[in-house]
Amino acid sequence: MQKLKRKIISKKAKIAVIGLGYVGLPLAVSFAKAGFMVLGLDNNKSRVDRIRKGKSYIKDVAVKDITSLIRKKTFQASTDLSLLKQVDVVLICVPTPLKRKYTPDISYIVSAVKTIGKFMTKDKLIILESTTYPGTTEELIKPLLEKSGMKSEKDFYLAFSPERIDPGNKKYPVTKIPKVVGGLSEASSSLAKVLYRKIVNKVHVVSSPRAAEMTKLLENTFRLINIGWVNEAAMMCDKLGINIWEVIEAAKTKPFGFMPFYPSLGVGGHCIPDDPLYLFWKARHHGVSSKFIKLSADINEKIPEYILTRVEGLFKKKVKKILVLGATYKKDVKDLRRSPAVKFIETAKKRGHSVSYFDPLIPYLEMGALHLKSIKLNSKAIKQFDCVVIAVAHTGVNYRMILDSARYVFDACNAYKGKKNSKIIVL
């Protein structure tokens, strides 16, 4: 253990990051920039090829960082997972989606861990960063790794440290967010702490991997529930003739006891819609059924339909031409996973409306039965639609021109904050 610790302290430890996505790529680049030799491993060949060519497919990672690190050979990408034999530290950043509602799909973790086991060498530190249910590290990963014949906390070290990155957030890149760490033993926690202290200022150690796993779920479930509540409040406010956005601005003036959450078309991405359901699943196996999680997930899922019903109300339910602005799940982030805007488009099409979309980040929308091309956004095009629904307000879009040209604008994200215009309908 001391030898590995010295290697980490002197930055001589070689680090592998498995999964070069929204989480793994920024993390790998951060360690490489800090002076470690980093190996990025992914079974997606096109991602690996792009990195090798010095390209970045994630907006938060600058092309110049990748090119300079690749040139210096401090960061290398590969699909060859047998290279795991050469490293001292392995960080696992693979996806954790749902198999179906309320059922985790941990197959990516299992596959990555089995591969690590295959290429296990003595004195490795292995850390899972993927969001998962409490117990995963101890109940699933430890026994899988011990199949290699090596013993945890004797031959290798094991910890969980949740990634808390917020894609697109310039104020808090990965290196500015404190890390939470829970090792299987004090030795594992201490090694993980020393490692992360090389890229972040604050590392908070908890007593076990399951406490660290639960920390991430507490954070994300807190968001799901509060978003659910504010979306429900938005629906109430509409009936009561109150502008929810005005109310949130007023509530924000309280210096304590209130934290703003904003209504929206719903929750999307790989985290907020799915992570709390990992917790729901695990708790149910222990006889606890979380009413908060279920209720919030259900409310958030119904918002696209709710907004569509309000749009239909403008035209007495006749089939209409609708333009959806913004297809991604989040502003300025090129990620369509679980996007409520896509759900809105699907629902509107099912109800017989003619739907087009515009998104500067997504030229083509090929998902399930959807095969759409982003329209060219100009005044003439907008005039052909009965209503523009602003799902996500990406920067660089001419919202004034949209308002001038549209018949109605349903503003689901407060793009026209405080603007008085009879064409604007707010969520």
Binding residues for ligand NAD, rule: CB under 6 A, are: 18-24, 41-44, 47, 93-96, 108, 111-112, 130-131, 163, 165, 167, 269-271
Nearer to ligand NAD, 92 or 184 (CB): 92
Nearer to ligand NAD, 105 or 232 (CB): 105
Nearer to ligand NAD, 55 or 151 (CB): 55
**For ligand NAD, which residue has the nearest CB?**
21
CB 224 within 8 A of CB 300: yes
Sign of the CA dihedral 102, 283, 163, 90?
negative
**Nearest to 299, CA basis, from 398, 226, 381:** 226
How many CA atoms, within 13 angstroms, populate the side-chain half-sphere of residue 401? 9
Smallest distance from ligand NAD to CB 117, Å: 12
Smallest distance from ligand NAD to CB 412, Å: 21
- CA 147 – CA 342 distance, rounded (Å): 43
Nearer to ligand NAD, 47 or 353 (CB): 47
Smallest distance from ligand NAD to CB 81, Å: 6
Smallest distance from ligand NAD to CB 303, Å: 20
Residue 93 designated active-site: no
Nearer to ligand NAD, 23 or 427 (CB): 23
Smallest distance from ligand NAD to CB 97, Å: 8
Sign of the CA dihedral 367, 369, 373, 377?
negative
Exactly one of 93, 271, 387, 413 is catalytic; name it.
271
- DSSP-based three-state secondary structure for 79: coil
Token pair 């980093």: residue: 38
What does the chain come to in residues?
427
- DSSP-based three-state secondary structure for 388: strand
Tell me how far CA of residue 132 lies from CA of 74, 123, 341, in angstroms: 30, 25, 26
- Beta-sheet pairing, 156-160 with 179-183: antiparallel
Chain-centroid distance, C-alpha 195: 24
Q: Catalytic positions, please?
A: 271
